[in-house]
Amino acid sequence: MQLTLKLLQLVAENLRSDEFSSRAKRTEPRVGLRAKAKIVPMVVDDRGIPPMEIWVRDISSSGIGFVVNRALPQGSFFLLKLQTPARDDLSIQYKVTYTNAIGGGSHVVGACFDRVVCANPTYVQGPLKMLGQRKAPKTAA
């Protein structure tokens, strides 16, 4: 399955809260997902790094988790490329918050939402409006 704008929107509309462990750093509900996507790393001295295929593991309104066959430096940025129904060029910029080698040359990467990069502002106000919107923490009664 390929990650598209339509699939991302469907996932975002159906976010449900997972039980958070006391050790977990995440504070947002997330959805587990297995989908292919393409990213373009944005690193200093990149000399034209080609797009990379990733396997998305989970998505929340504040970030994304995936597996990739190359280490991405913590603090670096990348563009997640999405296909839109109108075939517009749409990218979402994320910042790598952690990366962990899992063997066989694969790495688990977690990244937080930075901004939407697209020529059509309709997507920022519509399907992608939920990105970066954090939920208020629950308070004890």
Domain count, the chain: 1
50 Cβ partners below 8 Å, 6+ apart?
40
Q: How far is CA 62 from the centre of its chain?
A: 8
CATH number at residue 20: 2.40.10.220
Q: Residue 140 domain-assigned? A: no
Backbone phi, psi, residue 16, to 5°: -130, 150
Q: Residue 137 domain-assigned? A: no
What letters, b where the CB count within 10 A reaches 16 and e where it falls short, cover 65-74?
bbebeeebee
Residue pLDDT tens, the chain, 141 long: 788 777 777 776 666 544 555 445 556 667 778 889 999 998 766 566 788 999 999 988 788 999 999 889 999 999 999 877 776 668 889 999 999 999 899 999 999 999 888 766 666 555 566 565 554 444 444
Q: Residue 14 domain-assigned? A: yes
pLDDT of res. 50: 83
Q: Residue 31 domain-assigned? A: yes
Q: Residue 139 domain-assigned? A: no
Q: Residue 17 domain-assigned? A: yes
Owning domain of residue 15: 5-125
Q: Residue 131 domain-assigned? A: no
pLDDT of res. 9: 73
CB 40 within 8 A of CB 31: no
77-83 and 63-68 strand pairing: unpaired
CA atoms of 10 and 95, how far apart (whole Å): 23
pLDDT of res. 108: 97
Place of tokens 């991302």: 8
Q: Residue 93 domain-assigned? A: yes
pLDDT of res. 138: 42
pLDDT of res. 117: 80
pLDDT of res. 66: 97
pLDDT of res. 106: 95
**Among 110, 132, 1, 130, CA closest to 64:** 110
Q: Where are the alpha helices (DSSP H) in 1-141?
A: 5-13, 121-125
